[in-house]
Structure 1
């Protein structure tokens, strides 16, 4: 229930670009481009990116403009969708960014609340306006909609371009459907079911389990692969070696620590110190899923210089903080996606993105919000460079094999 660049390419070939996936509004680099040409959809076809058009300045949930403490300028606009009739200087100002769609599955985990407050901001959790219950903050990349009904309304008025509001009955039907969808890898590369031989993988396990937090509810993340440390007799040599690698990868994910530095949401604003020593499971900590049980957004540097990989096909924005400088980047920031700052209007939130869940990861390349890692090895290599971890080749392969089994 997600999208890979490979799937987008196949749909383009099979439908000659006429699939609704390639709608001008969001499946194109910009609606002003000739829509029958593949290069007008290059970001979707090569990076798996959907255009997200945000209002400028940002607006609160009831449509009021938010006071912004930064200035945004366009440095590079390869798609043409941040200038002319579009962009922050247009008659009706907007900012277009390009992001990977998030999986529509495993909702009971994404909606689970593991804290009574937002530990990344030191603030109380926002409440669902309908149920008055705390919100998880794990639904959308930039936190612009915090409930399923709010997300539906946002999508109906933008991506779907509906001329009428969804009715409450239609929203209930969609919510019921979404709550029933569970996705995970079902078989490993040897063809063996992931819920066999003592392991606890696969979508059925997600359906029957309850959300859990590392060190609190349930088992530590990816402990379901402990049974593979000593594969059972009868497996081929290749299958046994792969499963042993997955078990090692799960331990590396939980136990190999490194210094996490200059990452808003982790090291600031209240933070855990800068640097803080921890492992991958520090953020990807929910058992069975690998998403972050703690609400709030994090900046890993994937969209923001100097950490981001070169992306000449994406827009480049210059952000100038008008108040306090950014705690890690200073007063002037260059980014291809301001992220959460397009929701809050705060310079301190530039680059922050809601962390992804990891189930079904192998089926939805490329990775990160901007599709900058073309494969799982590229994802591991980015973290290794970003945080100077020093993984060995074997450790990198073990982590890749773990993620191929989720």
Structure 2
């Protein structure tokens, strides 16, 4: 029988292979090193990195954002970018990997940066390349309306073959459902050249770029259930280089297994590279990605987050020294280890600064211990935990130091599927102009209906189902980490939360948590420090 995640308690993951105990981990020395560097590091402001610039990235550099400052840290020292395939425009459209993975944005791409580039370049920056920086490649490239999803939600077009390709063979998968286009404001899904009825049938969905920092946590292989996906029991993809199973937590739909295959896929699709990347190029990219860590180090009100003892969650150096791929247990290895002593008033700080630090501490406590009922979430309420189940934020966002899910796989919290994907002001059921496409999924009569959404599902992005072809995967997405959160708005894979408060409000509505205003403020202040 395939192993599945059978139980998840706050702090202990129980599988069919038993439970994994966790031990204490201290990073006081790393924190002290960060304090020693404070005030001595180059400040990049909110500067943009052009492809092919050639300037090196220092061992550590800080960037300003709306909540404070982010620090980017490379454990192997300075990165020489001249001739480096991550930073050079190796494809014909002028982009480099850095175009969509900017250091100032936590190695992702914020909506603020996107809008600034449009204004500064008149829409000529390579990030607006027609292939995916426009709503559809056939639209007039110089018009803002052609790039509305990127300019208003920070979304790039992802074109996926339909029906899905079989990852274990050369053919395709027969989907368990039919897919119809209900609404197509960008025009790509119904386009005769790029759409579902084209010579190469393609589904276009629109997603945010993920950050390429702290990746040792993202690609860890400590998930403990062998060659299976924890949330579904299906066989996990394998590393083509060594045949080892991978955790499939790298991309939103888990369609590629490793950093190297992701780089190759991105070069072909986003950079439009017309050749295969060389092993040397892939090694340069993946080596650098394994060395970069990003986290907030300064809060605009609280000041230096590394001041005082007990703040072992803060800063990228602490991340670099964390225990990778382990479930936080909130007794000896916290998800985000901020000790109570960190929140004690510091005499050198103002009352306002000390109150903000107290608020950040309360937010950390809310994250770890404020319980609420979770219901109707596919691959969470369907894996033996119960429906509903009373848990906390740290139940799913439980990996030590990042807030990733330690158990591999994908789930649906309702960001794209109706009836949960209720956005303001975009309401899919009204006649208002909606930015996102809308699809009707109809599960075949010979397969069971979706346990929470039935046989007919309306969704803005079928998520993993576009890869697996399964009804139960409709709308499921691999969750992201919380680090460098303040630097890379908007949030969720579809950019539907413009800021951190909207993320909190979404969960509050979705699960009827009934946070108080103070709780929302404290949780927002905490998430902004990560």
SS of residue paired to 1:224: coil
1:365–1:352 distance in 2 versus 1, CA, 3 Å: same
Relative to structure 2, which stretch is displaced further, 221-230 or 320-329?
221-230
Aligned partner of 1:363 in structure 2 is: 487
The answer to whether the 8 A contact 1:8-1:44 is kept is yes
The answer to whether the 8 A contact 2:238-2:257 is kept is no
Distance 2:281 2:298 in 1: 35
Q: Residue 37 of structure 1: which of 143, 146, 149 is its match? A: 143
SS of residue paired to 1:235: coil
Aligned partner of 2:177 in structure 1 is: 70
Residue 457 of structure 2 is aligned to residue 333 of structure 1? yes
Distance 2:371 2:284 in 1: 44
The answer to whether the 8 A contact 1:29-1:81 is kept is yes
Deviation of the 1:154 alpha carbon: 1.4
The answer to whether the 8 A contact 1:335-1:351 is kept is yes
Relative to structure 2, which stretch is displaced further, 387-396 or 184-193?
184-193
Residue 478 of structure 2 is aligned to residue 354 of structure 1? yes
Deviation of the 1:191 alpha carbon: 6.3
The answer to whether the 8 A contact 1:228-1:246 is kept is no
User: What is the aligned length?
Assistant: 405
The answer to whether the 8 A contact 1:138-1:295 is kept is yes
Task: Choose 1 or 2 for highest CA Rg.
Answer: 2
Residue 411 of structure 2 is aligned to residue 287 of structure 1? no
Alignment of 1:7-406 (within 5 A): 7-61=113-167, 63-85=170-192, 86-117=194-225, 118-123=229-234, 125-190=236-301, 192-198=303-309, 199-200=311-312, 201-211=314-324, 212-215=326-329, 219-268=333-382, 270-310=383-423, 311=426, 312-322=434-444, 323-406=447-530
Distance 1:143 1:16 in 2: 35
Relative to structure 2, which stretch is displaced further, 179-188 or 388-397?
179-188
The answer to whether the 8 A contact 1:267-1:275 is kept is yes
The answer to whether the 8 A contact 1:264-1:352 is kept is yes
Q: Deviations over 1:214-273 (max 9, x none)?
A: 1299611122253333232221111111111111111111111111101011012x3411
Instruction: Specify every segment of 5 or more residues in structure 1 that has no aligned partner in the other structure, as ranges.
Output: none
Q: Deviations over 1:365-406 (max 9, x none)?
A: 111111111111111000000001010100000110011100
The answer to whether the 8 A contact 1:49-1:370 is kept is yes
SS of residue paired to 2:293: coil
Distance 1:231 1:289 in 2: 26
1:80–1:63 distance in 2 versus 1, CA, 3 Å: farther
Normalising by structure 1, report the TM-score.
0.96
SS of residue paired to 1:10: helix
Aligned partner of 2:97 in structure 1 is: none
Distance 1:129 1:19 in 2: 35
Distance 2:332 2:136 in 1: 45
The answer to whether the 8 A contact 1:250-1:399 is kept is yes
Distance 2:371 2:502 in 1: 20
Distance 1:122 1:47 in 2: 34
The answer to whether the 8 A contact 1:260-1:276 is kept is yes
Normalising by structure 2, report the TM-score.
0.74
1:51–1:227 distance in 2 versus 1, CA, 3 Å: farther
Distance 1:332 1:167 in 2: 45
Relative to structure 2, which stretch is displaced further, 167-176 or 203-212?
203-212
Distance 1:217 1:298 in 2: 27
